[in-house]
Amino acid sequence: MNDNTNNLSCVMVPMNGRQLLLPNVSIAEVVDFSSGPAPANSPKWLTGILEWRGLHLPVISYDAANGGEISEPAGNRGRIVVLNTIGDHHDTIPFMALVTQGIPSQTRLSEDQVKRLDGDIGSADMMQVDVDGETAYIPDLGFLESLALQASQN
């Protein structure tokens, strides 16, 4: 019998040319890609507004928040990942949303399966890691929450 007590349930989220690694508990729901348009004069990283459970959530393009370009999901594989917020403004904005380039996948990881890598990271990245031979990025959720808060105040 395997001892899974030191394993963490995680989700690999496909972005444009990279994937994010998030703990499973940070994700409230994964929904099909659809959102209302972004308000006029919105920052380039704001792709739209998602109506979700009676809330209006800003949908953030992780790629654009990281200094890249917004890229719409190809075909019907794009999703929106609704994330729980954990920062100081949780009462104001309890959730935020990220557009993905594919369907997120769940995995269980132990500490020895994840190694920190030295490499260039963007403003939305906390760190770059190797996960069993694959490169992934752990997002800076505080930075993304600050963007969501900014979008919700406009």
Strand order through the sheet with 95-99: 27-32, 79-84, 95-99, 55-60, 46-52, 36-37
Place of tokens 């490499």: 119
**Mean pLDDT across 26-40:** 86
H or E stretch at 47: strand 46-52
Look up residue 24 and give its DSSP letter.
G
Distance in angstroms (rounded) separating the CA atoms of residues 13 and 10: 10
What does the pLDDT read at residue 1? 42
What does the pLDDT read at residue 2? 54
SS3 for 6? coil
What would the pLDDT profile of 59-98 be if each residue is shown by its tens digit? 999 999 998 888 777 666 789 999 999 888 888 889 999 9
The overall average pLDDT reported for the chain is 88
State pTM to two decimals. 0.88
What sign does the dihedral 107-110-111-116 (CA atoms) show?
Answer: negative
With contact defined as beta carbons under 8 Å apart, do 32 and 80 qualify? yes
What would the pLDDT profile of 87-145 be if each residue is shown by its tens digit? 888 888 899 999 998 889 999 998 889 999 998 899 999 999 999 899 999 999 999 99
What does the pLDDT read at residue 74? 66
Distance in angstroms (rounded) separating the CA atoms of residues 34 and 14: 17
User: Domains plus CATH for the chain?
Assistant: 8-152 (2.40.50.180)
CA 24 to chain centre: 11
